Amino acid sequence: MAKSQSAALDRKKLMADPVMVGTIVVLITFLTLFILYPLAILLVDSFYGGEGFTLTTFQRIMAMPTFTKAIGNTLKVGFLVGILSTVVGLLFAYVEVYVKLGRLVGGLFKVVSMLPVVSPPFVLSLSMIMLFGSAGLITQFLLGIYDNNVYGFWGIVIVQTLTFFPVCYMMLKGLLKNIDPSLEEAARDMGASRSKVFMTVTFPLLLPGLGNAFLVTFIESIADFANPMIIGGSYDTLATTIYLQITGAYDKQGAAAMAVVLLCITLVMFGVQKYYLEAKTAATLTGKASRGRMLIEDKSVTVPLTILCSLAAFFVILMYACVPIGALFPTWGYKFTPFTLKWFKLVFTRYKGFKAFRDSFVLSLLAAPITALLSMIISYLVVKRNFKSKGFIEAVSMLAMAVPGTVLGVGYIRGFSGGLFHTGFLQGLYGSAAILIIVFVVRSLPTGTRSGISALRQIDKSIEESAYDMGADSFTVFMTVTLPLIKDSFLSGLVTAFVRSITAISAIILLVTPQFLLITVQINEFAEKGSYGIACAFASILILITYGSVLLMNLFIKYFGTSKKIKEG
């Protein structure tokens, strides 16, 4: 009774605040128009033809051998990448949490965990080709192998595993740290070996988290467009098949049906990960560890594990370092000539590098603050307000996480190329800078929202209520009380949105027009042509931009962040 009265009072306060009501209406409109509508249009295009409801389009694409083969290829790659990434991520996480490491090894682990965040999604594909391709540094120059084919199934699996295992590593590291060490020590006191303790105590506690890591990686793998496009060769996945169906066969309706199939797979996996495994993980672990863990110092354990993980980390770093190194050679292969800046010069003189970097930088810079602010507003409404459409706002804002970029790109083409519901209204969005910015915002929104929700749940409700009692409206409270308290999370979301936007390719490659030159599209184009020197030069400058942005953000938070003020106080 008291709970329902409190909810009714919250709703009454909300309706008396026109700023808050207006914000909710604008948010619902934005989320409906730019997330739900494009996906709904895909379904309409797939199931409705001139004669009404029909399965003709699905029957047609299912009859295509290339499409049915692409489904099998995608699932096979996704499952194997999910398993390998989870296993490698668990190894790294276990070694960092349970084994006493030197500073050098710990530094290597930090670099490995950060590299995928600040690098374009296809950097490792370029490195793989330059190290292990037919003219690769290792295959041709060191081993004398001239006919090595790195393209295809194993090329995609290796590159995606190296790209996504740091995600599993970061997820599992947090879970391992939260396991109370007294549980494992009790088993050890009863005479169990380390392997027995791991299999009977640690592993069962980790099992939901392992499933979570597997599903996250599986979704990332099957949604990945850039790596299969560059290193897949003739081995097509769903993401590349959809792209080729639009750009090659000019079959937008067929591509829409293919996109629905891919979307269904990712939504099922996302639902399992979000609503089953995440809840089970939270209930299984005991929270923050009660005291410090006794690290393994036995050299028979520490030495082999440290060497193994260090070699793996060094190999990953070498793969990323290969790109800027590759941009400094006029040719890549058996005979290496002295360093040159030829490719960097050509980027800016012949290939409109200034325009590509300017367009990418400006569009990403415009999208980043919009994304960060929207994320914080959504987080604020979800955590601090009680109203009927709250669940809708949270669910739809998170939905973009499960939608592959290629699917979203096809949805925007079908939804806005002829205007809203093909009426011509909002047709001007298609091909404009605005639609690219909107895609950037939508793709980065879930990450910022999750970060904001975590930060806001740590703020006591009474702090904001005291501001309301002094007569402040919701906008004033949010800007002067809430936002300063979650400044670190806001700044982190700002830079994350910028990095994700400037390195995005899967959604925008279908929407970008000749009016705009984007760095990632240029890299993809030159890599497809085999012009790896130019592609590496573009990628190297992009990595510098993103890495510099992250460093600036960290410095800004260090000197002006909330945590520093609290510490000083």
Pairing of strands 52-53, 48-49: antiparallel
Could you give the CA distance from residue 507 to residue 439 in angstroms, rounded to a whole number? 7
pTM: 0.83
Instruction: Give the model's confidence band at 75: pLDDT under 50 very low, under 70 low, under 90 confident, else very high.
Output: very high
Residue 282 has pLDDT above 60, yes or no: no
Residues linked to residue 53 through DSSP beta bridges, in sequence order: 48
DSSP letter at 233 equals T
- The label of the residue with tokens 């939504």 reads 267
Say what the pLDDT of residue 449 is: 84
Non-local (6+) Cβ contacts of 444 within 8 A are 367, 368, 371, 375, 496, 497, 500, 501
Residue 565 has pLDDT above 50, yes or no: no
**What stretch of H or E contains 58?**
helix 56-62
Residues linked to residue 99 through DSSP beta bridges, in sequence order: 296
Instruction: Give the model's confidence band at 7: pLDDT under 50 very low, under 70 low, under 90 confident, else very high.
Output: low
Say what the pLDDT of residue 10 is: 60
Average pLDDT over residues 235-241: 91
Residue 438 has pLDDT above 90, yes or no: yes
Say what the pLDDT of residue 83 is: 94
Residue 564 has pLDDT above 50, yes or no: no
> How many CB atoms are closer than 10 A to CB 314?
14
- The label of the residue with tokens 């991520």 reads 89
Tokens representing 166 are: 């740091």
Residue 496 has pLDDT above 60, yes or no: yes
Q: Identify which of 150, 392, 95, 415 has the alpha carbon closest to the alpha carbon of residue 259.
A: 415
Say what the pLDDT of residue 350 is: 86
Residue 505 and residue 443 in contact, taking contact as beta carbons nearer than 8 Å: no
| Cα Rg of the chain (Å, integer) | 25
pLDDT digit string, tens, across residues 47-70: 876 666 778 888 888 889 889 999
Average pLDDT over residues 442-451: 85
Residue 23 has pLDDT above 70, yes or no: yes
Could you give the CA distance from residue 445 to residue 101 in angstroms, rounded to a whole number? 36
Q: Which has more confidence, 491 or 238?
A: 238
In the chain, the percentage of residues whose pLDDT exceeds 90 is 13
Residue 229 and residue 8 in contact, taking contact as beta carbons nearer than 8 Å: no
Tokens representing 153 are: 């199934």
By CB atoms closer than 10 A (0-12, 13-18, 19+), residue 18 is exposed
Residue 212 and residue 273 in contact, taking contact as beta carbons nearer than 8 Å: yes
Tokens representing 514 are: 């000749």
Say what the pLDDT of residue 209 is: 80
Say what the pLDDT of residue 127 is: 87
- For the chain, the residue count is 569
For the chain, how long is the longest CA-to-CA vector? 80
Q: Is 49 helix (H, G, I), strand (E, B) or coil?
A: strand
DSSP letter at 478 equals I
Non-local (6+) Cβ contacts of 133 within 8 A are 139, 148, 150
- Residue 72 half-sphere exposure toward CB, CA atoms < 13 A: 8
Say what the pLDDT of residue 412 is: 92
By CB atoms closer than 10 A (0-12, 13-18, 19+), residue 57 is buried
Say what the pLDDT of residue 291 is: 57
Average pLDDT over residues 178-187: 76
Could you give the CA distance from residue 423 to residue 382 in angstroms, rounded to a whole number? 34
Residue 436 and residue 370 in contact, taking contact as beta carbons nearer than 8 Å: no
Residue 28 has pLDDT above 50, yes or no: yes
pLDDT digit string, tens, across residues 387-417: 788 888 888 888 887 888 888 888 898 888 8
pLDDT digit string, tens, across residues 316-370: 888 888 888 888 877 665 455 667 788 888 888 888 888 999 999 999 999 999 9
Say what the pLDDT of residue 8 is: 61
What does residue 260 show for φ and ψ, rounded to 5 degrees?
Answer: -65, -40
Q: Identify which of 135, 164, 165 has the alpha carbon closest to the alpha carbon of residue 150.
A: 135
Average pLDDT over residues 480-497: 77
Q: Identify which of 372, 375, 371, 404 has the alpha carbon closest to the alpha carbon of residue 505.
A: 404
Could you give the CA distance from residue 388 to residue 11 in angstroms, rounded to a whole number? 9
Instruction: Give the model's confidence band at 287: pLDDT under 50 very low, under 70 low, under 90 confident, else very high.
Output: very low
Say what the pLDDT of residue 442 is: 92
Three-class SS of 189-231: HCCCCHHHHHHHHHHHHHHHHHHHHHHHHHHHHHHCCHHHHHH
Q: Per-residue b/e over 440-461, b at no fewer than 16 CB within 10 Å? A: bbbbbbbbbbbbbbebbeebee
DSSP letter at 338 equals P
Could you give the CA distance from residue 291 to residue 8 in angstroms, rounded to a whole number? 43
Average pLDDT over residues 485-508: 83
Q: Which has more confidence, 75 or 549?
A: 75
Could you give the CA distance from residue 438 to residue 434 in angstroms, rounded to a whole number? 6
Tokens representing 563 are: 């945590």
> Which of 365-374, 454-463, 473-482, 485-494 is modeled with the greatest confidence?
365-374
Q: Identify which of 257, 238, 188, 196 has the alpha carbon closest to the alpha carbon of residue 49.
A: 257
Could you give the CA distance from residue 393 to residue 533 in angstroms, rounded to a whole number? 45
Q: Identify which of 168, 10, 14, 16 has the alpha carbon closest to the alpha carbon of residue 93.
A: 168
Q: Identify which of 75, 106, 231 has the alpha carbon closest to the alpha carbon of residue 159.
A: 231
Average pLDDT over residues 381-385: 80
Say what the pLDDT of residue 69 is: 93
